[in-house]
Amino acid sequence: MAKLIQTEEETLLSEAAHGFLSKSAPVSRLREMRDAGKRNDPELWQEMAAAGWAGVLVPETAEGSDMGHAAAHVLARELGRNLTVSPFLSTAVMAATLLRQFSDEATIAKLKQIAEGAITYAMAIDENAKFSQERVELTAEKRGNGYILNGKKRFVVDGCEADRILVLANSNEGLCLFDLTNKSKGMTQETLAMIDSRDAADLIFDDVEVSGESLLGEVGAGYELLKPALEAGQAALAAETTGLAEAAFALTTDYLKERKQFGITIGSFQALQHRAAHLWCEIELTHSAVLNAGRILDESPEQATLAVSVAKARATDTAQKSVQEGVQMHGGIGMTDAFDMGFYMKRARVAAEWLGDYGYHAGQVAQLRGF
């Protein structure tokens, strides 16, 4: 396996991403968007596409930059540090990983549009309050050459603004994946007022007629097709969440060095020093798990489940510790909306649930480790 240290290319990519995002899309940008009631930033996405980010997992045959999963994680980590709002995970990571399993002309054209930033995707998988790709009740009923979809998808991230939707449905002959436009007749988007101020929706399918061409692959192959995309998304989300944890931790250590009480900086109190030091250790371990997942996804993706679940479980846990300790060690100011820690906390909670929470991924680990 390639080494668990950043390559020179990855370091350059990370520096470039840091330079760009800290200027164009820092946390203050999310605050502005929230205050203006905006959930997406199409101009920013165009710039990211121009830099090759939208095509990070699009093959070169479809004019992508095809930099791989580890590179996608470098970008996701910077997006997490800055709490940047973008369709990166849904579109550039999950939809691209899913669609690149096909090499027909129509799919290549879509991948090309993803890389160009011309279309965005959302993944419609969950139907309950907890992530599960197995409990699918949305039905796909064969009619003529096409299908009729009925049911409801919940917590569809980017579900309002995405141009296209990848929907997991249950036919009589097993799970199926459909690729359709988000404006399909019979579909309703119920906008969710999310705590992290980002785009998510419940999607209602009421006799939605779709053509036979919108079915991806074979009937019954839905889960197999979805698996690599989900794992890519889970790992990239772990990278994003690790970046979030690091940024929240940096805010906290800066504050420990500057805030004075009892006439001295509070960072000289051992009670706080040891909590901060412990948190740093947690972040180190999580960072290793994310690096490992990236390497395995690039080298042997069919064996990545354990690595991905360790990364997602660790990142979920570490980010939540980082924001909770962050608020507590900041004291009163940590509770105010004027301070950024709250934005990190809310995003950490949403990221914890999306694509499987700690319990889901620890369960995967336990199963693979013979529990």
Partner 1 sequence: MGEVDAGQDHAEFRRDVREWLEENCPPEMRDGAAGEDSICWGGSSWTFTCTAQKDWLERCVERGFTVPTWPKAYGGAGLNRDEDKILKQEMQAIGARSPLDSFGIWMLGPALLKFGSEEQKLHFLPPIARGEIRWCQGYSEPGAGSDLAGVQTHAADQGDTWLVNGQKIWTSYADRADWIFALLRTDREAKKHLGISFVLMDMRSPGITTRPIQLISGASPFCETFFENVEVPKTQVVGTINRGWDVAKYLLTHEREMISNGGNVMGSGRALGAVLSDSDTGQSDPVLRGDAMRAEVDSLALEMTLERYKDQAEGGQGVGDASAMLKYMGTELNKQRLELVMAADGADALTWGETPASSWLRTKANSIEGGTSEVMLSIISRRILNLPG
3-state helix, strand, coil in the chain (%, to 5): 55, 15, 30
Q: Pick from 270, 302, 337, 338 the residue near partner 1 by CB under 8 A.
A: 270
Beta strand extents in 63-128 (DSSP E only): 121-124
* CA 47 and chain centroid, separation: 19
- Give the strand pairing for 200-210 and 146-157: antiparallel
In the bound state with partner 1, the residue whose beta carbon lies nearer, of 175 and 310, is 310
**Count of beta carbons in the 10 Å neighbourhood of residue 281:** 10
* Contact in structure between 352 and 346 (CB atoms under 8 Å): no
In the bound state with partner 1, the residue whose beta carbon lies nearer, of 71 and 310, is 310
Q: How far is the CB of 236 from partner 1 (least distance, A)?
A: 17
**Count of beta carbons in the 10 Å neighbourhood of residue 145:** 8
Q: With binding defined as CB under 8 A, does residue 253 bind partner 1?
A: yes
Q: With binding defined as CB under 8 A, does residue 67 bind partner 1?
A: no
In the bound state with partner 1, the residue whose beta carbon lies nearer, of 47 and 353, is 353
State which of positions 300-329 bind partner 1 (CB under 8 A): 306, 310, 313-314
Q: Pick from 143, 274, 300, 333 the residue near partner 1 by CB under 8 A.
A: 274
State which of positions 332-361 bind partner 1 (CB under 8 A): 361
Q: Pick from 174, 220, 278, 331 the residue near partner 1 by CB under 8 A.
A: 278
In the bound state with partner 1, the residue whose beta carbon lies nearer, of 66 and 317, is 317
Measured distance CA(78)–CA(22) in Å, rounded: 9
Smallest CA-to-CA distance from 316 within 266, 363, 262, 371 is with 363
Residues of this chain that bind partner 1 (CB under 8 A): 3-5, 253, 256-257, 264-265, 267-268, 270, 273-274, 276-278, 280-281, 284-286, 288-289, 291-292, 306, 310, 313-314, 361-363, 365-366, 369-371
